[in-house]
Every structure is written in structure tokens, then in C-alpha cells.
Amino acid sequence: MIQQVETTFRDYMRVLFRQKAVVITCFFTVMITVVIGIMLKTPVYEAKVKMLISASKQVEATYYRDLLMGQNMEVTLTQAEIVKSAPVLEKTIRALGLAQKPFDYEKQFASPLKAKLVGIQASMTKAKLENLPEQQRTMFQVRMAMEDLLKNVRVEPIRDTNLFTISARDFSPVGAAIIANVISRSYVIFDLEQQVAELQLKYGEKHATVIQLKEFIGKMEKALNGQPLPNIEAIGPASVKVIEQANVPLLPVGPSPLLIFVLAFFMSIFLGIMLAFMFEYMDQTFKSPQDVENYLNTPYLGAVPRKPKQKQLSYENLAEQVLLISKDRKLHTLMFTTAEASDDAANIVVNLGKVLAEKGLKVLVVDANFRHLTFKKYFNLEKGPGLVDVIEEKVTFEKSIHSAAKNLAVMTAGETQLNPLTVVESNKMHQLLAQAGEKYDLVLIAAPDLKHRDSILLAAQTDGVILVVNEGKTRKQVVLNCLEPVIAKKANILGVILNNRTYSIPKAIYDRV
């Protein structure tokens, strides 16, 4: 049964420090991405011209009558589309020579990183144009200028008025103001040209009004340099009038890079914390003594830390705990096992046996893992008889024992062709364990993991079972599934040892939270 316990601030700190790699990776990933994004974004300036649809006309044409009577949003939107039409934009392109603008125009305003990319792109475009005939090259440049202008010009009606704005963007603040003014004047010229066409059809080319309008068109064409005009000339006789000319913008559009950087800084930390708790929630492994006690409802006996410097003290504390339990319950044969294949049980048995032997107890450590002989790397023993040889009655119990140190004896698994289940289920195994328990104060048995049935059968024959779980690797559900058959065999489960324990929170912080 899983117990619910109150979560403390220290638990939250433990999650953050345990998942610090996630938090740090998220922070630097976000910040580096944002910094690169800022470097790749060249500041853009926007200038606006305010226009009025007055419907002031020189001829009684249906078009101007509708303007005078309608004065609605549809008319404003129609004018907006005219502003972005080819005749108006082409006049702007010709007047400002935008088709001849360098392909790396952005380079002089960009960061060094973006400038390199702009230079590469410009070189590729130039190489592509060099293979085209001169006429096609000119058409291509005009088309590119048209698309670029369309991308950087926006027309927006002002709600509940006859006004709308023409916005132009450019990397240069002065360039943005010039483009906005020239587009608005090109638009006025286009409107006047429509009136001239209407008047010529009705009155002919010699009419005074036609001549007057043509003279004004000439003045406006001379003003297609984007420089400010007197208000009278800007307003003019057209049905659309320039109410407010574009001024040079002082700041680029969009949030400042500093604001973006600050927001990214805090958002990266917040995102890192969220990801840390998400990964923690998804991680179903044992990560603390609390996990052992709460999830398995089994006593926590102690831990073996991952850092080598801390292991000796932890084994001494663990030995005291095991000794206390064995004396209190009069236990002699203890089986150490894991839920998944590993050498953790054998490693703890060997080191625990050495510490207990140093305390003056007669200790026998037994390797009962017939599939994977683990004691070879811990003891410098010559090949000889072991546990399986005693079971098969090839040697006596005494001859299978190897002396490793004072008060510490070792029994290896030995080699056999028999099924491990046959060895463990034999009556001889039960007799051997009883004999060992009589001759030694403690018998520590390193068994295979609980996924093997021979380990489950052996658990039922020993005085107690100690489970070793690996922090951050052994999954909770796997342990529960493995313990079910052990519990069904009515084995005496003494508790759990947490191996490779890490202490996530630094001591200086741990003592204060």
C-alpha cells in the first residue's frame, strides 16, 4: 500500500537539484536560441503617412459620386488595395531606384553574424542573375523589388473615419520615411491621372482643369524623392489627400532586444523548472529513502552512496543496522537480491561481510548466483569447489570454504550443468544453510535477481531477505511485481538497501531548508 506523505520545501529543492541537468540544459538552450535569434534579426523601422478619402472631384463620374455618397469601410478598403497595386508601386520603384538596390543592402544594418548570411545569400542571387540575359535580369530585379515592397508596405483603415494609414518598413529609418512619402504621392498621382482621363474624355486636352491637373501631377512627380512637402502641395486637388506626411522614426518596431533577453531569461528558468518536475513525475525509479518506505511499505535499512569516499561510513552504518536486526530476531542466514540483473547484491554482500568480520563476527559470504559468478572479481581465489559441489556431494561443507580474511569466509557458487532450480530445491540446500547458520554468526548470501525462480525459492529457505534497489535505475513497478511471488512464499522480507545513493542538495543548502 502506497502511503501519502506531506511534501516539504526540501522535497521541491531535491527535485530541482536532482534534475539540475534538465534545468541547466533548458536555460542555456533557450538563452542561446534567443541570443542567436536577436543577432539574426536586423532592426526594422516603420514610417506612416495618414491619408484622407475626401471624394473632392473635378468631374461628375460614377466612381467619385460613390465616394461622396458612400464614405464607408468598403471604399476605404478599396483605396487600400489601390495603394498596393502595380501602377502605384512601380512608380515608387522607378522614382527611388529600388530595382537597383544592392542585394546585400541589409548587410550595413545587420549584426556580423547576420551580415555573413546576407552576403552569402546576395552572392547566390548575383550568380543566378549573371546567367540571365540583360532584359530578363532587369525584369527579375523589378519583380524582386516589387515583392520586397509589397512585403514591407501595409495599409490600415482607421475605424469609423475616412482616414487610413500607409506604413512602410525599411532597415534605415530615413529610408522608411522616404518610401512611405513616395508611395503616398504615387498614389495621389495615380488618382489625379484617373481624373485627367475622365476630364479629357468629356472636355478634351485643352480644358483649363485638365491643364491645371497635369501641372500638379508634374509637381508631384518632381516630389517623388520623399522629401517633406508644404502642406498645401501635399493636400492637393486629388480625391485622396495626404493629411500627415511620414516622419523619420526614432525606434525600430517590435520589442527591444534587452526586453526580449530579460523575458527569455525568466521564461527559460520557469520552463526548466516545469520540465524538471515533469521529468521527475515521469521517472518511476526509486530516488530517495522516502520512495522506498512510502511506495513499498517496507523498512529502509540504509544506503550505499555513489561517491567512493562516503562508502566506508555507509557500510559501517549498514552493518550496525543488519547486526541489530539479526540479534533482535535471532537471524543467521540473510539473502541479498535485486529486482533486475546486476552485481549490486554481490557487491554489498562482500563489503558488508568485511565490515562485520572486522567487528569480530564470524561471517560467511556465499555466492548463490549460478548463472553469473560474481565473487571472482572481489576475491583472489583459485578455482576450487563451491556451493554446487556441496549440493552434489562432491565435497564436504568444510572443503568448500575459502578463507578471505580474519573472521571472513567465502563460498563460491561453483560450476555445474544442472538447472539452478534443481540445486536450490534440493534438501541438501536446506541442510547446507542450516549447517552454515550453526557454524557462523552471520551467513550473507548473494542471490540472483528476483526474476529468476531459484532466487524466490532460496528466499523462502533463508531467515531473511534484503532487497537492493539502485537509485535512478530500479523502477518501482518492477520491484512490486518481483516481490509478489516472494511474499506468496511467505519469505521474511527484512527491508531495502538503496544503492548508488546521491545527495542532490548541497550540504550548505540542505542544512538551511
What is the pLDDT confidence band of residue 220, given thresholds at 50, 70 and 90? confident
Are 126 and 271 part of one and the same domain? no
Are 266 and 340 part of one and the same domain? no
Over the stretch 53-73, which tens digit does the pLDDT of each residue have?
Answer: 875 544 444 444 444 444 456
SS3 string, 8-35, reads: CHHHHHHHHHHCHHHHHHHHHHHHHHHH
What kind and span of H or E run contains 69? helix 62-70
55 lies in some domain = yes
Are 134 and 32 part of one and the same domain? no
Task: Measure the CA–CA gap between 439 and 471, rounded to whole angstroms.
Answer: 35
Domain range for 218 is: 44-244
Residue 416's pLDDT is what? 78
141 lies in some domain = yes
Distances 177 to 124, 170, 425 between C-alpha atoms, Å = 30, 9, 94
Task: Give the number of other Cβ atoms within 10 Å of residue 433's Cβ.
Answer: 21
Are 265 and 334 part of one and the same domain? no
Residue 23's pLDDT is what? 95
Q: What is the CATH number of the domain that holds 474?
A: 3.40.50.300
Are 343 and 464 part of one and the same domain? yes
Are 231 and 320 part of one and the same domain? no
The pTM for the full model equals 0.75
Are 202 and 224 part of one and the same domain? yes
Q: Which stretch of 75-79, 94-98, 273-277, 367-371 has the lowest confidence by average pLDDT?
A: 75-79
Are 307 and 396 part of one and the same domain? yes
Residue 68's pLDDT is what? 44
Mean pLDDT over residues 8-16, rounded?
85
First to last CA, the chain: 29
Residue 75's pLDDT is what? 67
What are the backbone angles phi and psi of residue 226, rounded to the nearest 5°? 85, -5
Are 296 and 233 part of one and the same domain? no
Higher pLDDT, 293 or 349: 349
The cell 541547466 sits on which residue?
Answer: 24
Are 458 and 473 part of one and the same domain? yes
4 lies in some domain = no
Task: Measure the CA–CA gap between 309 and 104, rounded to whole angstroms.
Answer: 61
Task: Measure the CA–CA gap between 370 and 392, rounded to whole angstroms.
Answer: 14
Residue 106's pLDDT is what? 93
Mean pLDDT over residues 224-240, rounded?
79
Over the stretch 273-332, which tens digit does the pLDDT of each residue have?
Answer: 999 999 998 999 998 888 898 888 889 999 999 888 889 999 999 999 999 999 999 999
2 lies in some domain = no
Task: Give the number of other Cβ atoms within 10 Å of residue 216's Cβ.
Answer: 18
SS3 string, 228-251, reads: CCCHHHHHCCCCEEEEECCCCCCC
Mean pLDDT over residues 122-148, rounded?
90
Residue 72's pLDDT is what? 54
Residue 14's pLDDT is what? 87
Residue 191's pLDDT is what? 87
Task: Measure the CA–CA gap between 311 and 316, rounded to whole angstroms.
Answer: 9
Dihedral of CA atoms 260, 261, 267, 268 in degrees, nearest 10, equals: 140
What are the backbone angles phi and psi of residue 389, rounded to the nearest 5°? -70, -35
Over the stretch 396-410, which tens digit does the pLDDT of each residue have?
Answer: 999 999 998 899 999
Mean pLDDT over residues 491-504, rounded?
92
Domain count, the chain: 3
251 lies in some domain = no
What are the backbone angles phi and psi of residue 96, rounded to the nearest 5°? -100, -5
Most confident of 214-223, 283-292, 359-368: 359-368
What is the pLDDT confidence band of residue 461, given thresholds at 50, 70 and 90? very high
362 lies in some domain = yes
493 lies in some domain = yes
| pLDDT cut 70: percent of the chain above it | 94
Task: Measure the CA–CA gap between 371 and 388, rounded to whole angstroms.
Answer: 12
- The answer to whether the CB of 23 falls within 8 A of the CB of 268 is no
Are 262 and 276 part of one and the same domain? yes
354 lies in some domain = yes
Close Cβ partners of 484 (under 8 Å, ≥ 6 residues apart): none
Are 28 and 140 part of one and the same domain? no
